[in-house]
Amino acid sequence: MVVADPGTGTVYVNAAVVPRVVAAPDSNATRRHFCVVDMEGGVVSRVAHVWVEVGAGKTPQVAQETVVCKRVAADAAQQVCYSVLYGSRNEWGIVTCRVGEEKS
């Protein structure tokens, strides 16, 4: 789950997925969950849930990736616009945030 705070520009990421380790289909490998947060210039640009398949003698590889937040616009007025996937509704929404401001 991802929540973007429009007032502060803070992006909160709940990386929890249960279970975080599952058996890979059709193999003796397992899939492990990770949350990847990409940043550019100190600002979140993308958040994804990633399942990496690992097994003995096998090179780890991404089995599945779901983007749940992505920066879609930014402007000179220190505003950034995020497209956020609301998992409970499986719908995308737009949140505009201020960034780069001093917190009091």
Model confidence, pTM:
0.77
pLDDT band at 103 (very low <50, low <70, confident <90, very high): very low
What are 54-99's pLDDT values in tens digits? 988 889 999 999 998 888 877 766 678 888 887 667 788 888 877 6
Q: Please provide the average confidence, as pLDDT, over all residues in the chain.
A: 84
Is a pLDDT exceeding 50 seen at residue 1? Answer: yes
- Comparing 90 with 103, the larger pLDDT belongs to 90
Strands 43-55 and 2-4: unpaired
